[in-house]
Amino acid sequence: MDKLTVNDLDAQGKRVFVRVDFNVPLEDGRVTDDSRIRAALPTIRHLIGQGARVVLASHLGRPGGKVQDGLRLRPAGERLSQLLRRNVPVTGDALGVGTEDAVRRLRPGEVLLLENLRFHAAEEKNDPKFAEQLARYADVYVNDAFGTAHRAHASTVGIAKLLPAYAGLLMEAEIAALSKLLENPEHPYAAILGGAKVSGKLDVLRNLLTKVDVLVLGGGMANTFLLAQGRSVGKSLAEHDMVDEARRVLAEAEKRGIQVVLPVDVIVAKEVTRGTEYKTLPAEKIPASWHIVDVGKQTLALIDEALADVRTVVWNGPIGVFEIPVFGAGTRQVAALLADKADAGATVVVGGGDSVAAIQQQGLADRMTHISTGGGASLEFLEGRELPGVAVLLDREADAATTQPVPAAAKGSR
């Protein structure tokens, strides 16, 4: 990676502002999935181990610039305290005299979590004054929130222009894993793309078509491709306005000699609900009033065969209606198949909420090469786009003088 990381930083005694991604699901005031908090632990532990004074900042949900008690970060702070085995106070606001005092009182090795940044509309607007106020809390900036790196917000771009800006260990791992998929993948190389819509992944498809040998399509987006082949999909989720784009993708794949795997048999249901009637049918015989909800055994066998010799796999998006367990079998089987590939030495990178959930539910996470926490950021990276939250970090070849802390007197005037 060509960006400086916390491994290049002498953080002893410094105040370090760390942008983390604690946008975690909550239920009854408790964190129900702490994977994003756990992902930030290596960077936090690295900094406190050096004796840094760590100021953490994150958003949670979409409060629209207004305080919402249900989106306060206290549950995340409590979970982080448990994982670190040390108290991590949460401020009452990201700004204000009380917060400034709490930052001032931080001792080396202590950690403080600011309240939800998006309680301030200025955060998402990348307001320079808001960024300056945040920058006054620290000598150095670290971004370890890859999932927000595609957003030019005050805490991801604005503050990074005011302080020496480094990548955290999670950010480093994300960029390294995803860069390998684009720059130097080992072949044969397969992409498995699922989820609801072609439109949300069209640019990823176009970019990956220049790199992969095998393309597996599933989920709702596969229905649009079935339409492009002249098949009926009944009442299934599909984007009829994207059929021409799907045809162009298929034509380009054929031109490049890419093997495309689409469903040959599917599970169809009368309704996309729990407890409904369902059955397996050939993909060309979908009843007009039924919905495609998963792939069948023949399709899974084709996927297995297509991936037999692959050395690199990227997977983003479920193969079926994963949120209904009975229609998640195809997604779960793909997860197990990829775990076996990783065990055999293939590079396997997984992103997307339901894809990652399928892996975690089966206890397969530790067997994958890399699980991306990035969501939209991962997709934009795979499109080949520059992410503003990454671009603003210090380049490795930067002059050493630029990595020195900004003098406190200068922070408010830049």
Enzyme catalytic residues: 36, 197, 353, 376
Amino acid at 231: R
Q: CA dist 294 to 23, 242, 291, Å?
A: 29, 21, 9
Q: From 179, 125, 120, select the one nearest 157 (Cα to Cα).
A: 125
Sort 230 into a burial class: Cβ within 10 Å, 0-12 / 13-18 / 19+. Answer: exposed
> CA separation (Å) from 83 to 152, 205, 314, 329, 365?
30, 38, 30, 33, 19
CA distance 100 to 133: 10
User: Quick one: how far is CA 191 from the chain centroid?
Assistant: 17
Residue 342 CA to its chain's centroid (Å): 20
Helix, strand, coil tally for the chain in percent (to 5): 45, 15, 40
The H or E element spanning position 84 is helix 74-84
Q: Which residues contact 84 (CB under 8 A, 6 or more apart)?
A: 41, 44, 45, 48, 111
Alpha carbon 217 to chain centroid, angstroms = 20
